[in-house]
Amino acid sequence: MHNFEYYTPTRIIFGRNTENAVADLIKRYGGKRVLLHYGQGSAVRSGLIARVKKNLDEAGIFHVELGGVVPNPHLDKVRTGFALGNLNQVDFVLAVGGGSVIDSAKAIAFALAEPNENVWDLFERKRPPKASLPVGSILTIAAAGSEMSRNVVITNEETKKKRSFGDALARPKFAIMNPELTMTLPDYQTAAGCVDIMMHTMERYFTSGGNMEITDAIAEGLLRTVMRNANILRLSPKNYNARAEIMWASSLAHNGLTGCGNDGGDFSTHNLEYELSGMFNVTHGAGLAALWGSWARYVYNVCLPRFVQFAVNVMGVDATGISDEEVALRGIEDLEDFYRKIGMPTRISALGINLTDEQIKEMAESCEKATGGSIGSAKRIYFDDMVKIYEMAR
The three-state (H, E, C) secondary structure of the chain, written as one string: CCCCCCCCCCEEEECCCHHHHHHHHHHHCCCCEEEEEECCCHHHHCCHHHHHHHHHHHCCCEEEEECCCCCCCEHHHHHHHHHHHHHCCCCEEEEEECHHHHHHHHHHHHHHHCCCCCCHHHHCCCCCCCCCCCEEEEECCCCCCCCCCCEEEEEECCCCEEEEEECHHHCCCEEEECHHHHCCCCHHHHHHHHHHHHHHHHHHHCCCCCCCHHHHHHHHHHHHHHHHHHHHHHHCCCCHHHHHHHHHHHHHHHCCHHHCCCCCCCCHHHHHHHHHHHHHCCCHHHHHHHHHHHHHHHHHHHCHHHHHHHHHHCCCCCCCCCCHHHHHHHHHHHHHHHHHHCCCCCCHHHHCCCCCHHHHHHHHHHHHHHCCCCECCCCCECHHHHHHHHHHHC
**What pLDDT, on the 0 to 100 scale, is given for residue 183?**
93
pLDDT digits (tens, 9 = 90+) for 10-45: 999 999 999 999 999 999 999 999 999 999 878 888
Considering the entire predicted model, what is its pTM? 0.94
Residue 236 has pLDDT above 90, yes or no: yes
Question: Among 1-10, 74-83, 279-288, 377-386, which is the least confidently predicted range?
Answer: 1-10
List the domain boundaries for the chain. 11-181, 185-393
pLDDT single digits (tens) 307-338 = 999 999 999 999 999 999 999 999 999 999 99
Question: What integer is the mean pLDDT of 283-307?
Answer: 97
Q: What is the pLDDT of residues 237-257, one digit of tens each?
A: 999 999 999 999 999 999 999
185-393 and 11-181 share a CATH fold: no
Superfamily of domain 185-393: Dehydroquinate synthase-like - alpha domain (1.20.1090.10)
pLDDT of the residue at 200? 97
The pLDDT of residue 210 is above 90: no
Please check the confidence at residue 381 and state whether its pLDDT lies above 90: yes
pLDDT tens across 69-126, in order?
Answer: 999 999 999 999 999 999 999 999 999 999 999 999 999 999 999 999 999 999 999 9
11-181 topology per CATH: Rossmann fold (3.40.50)
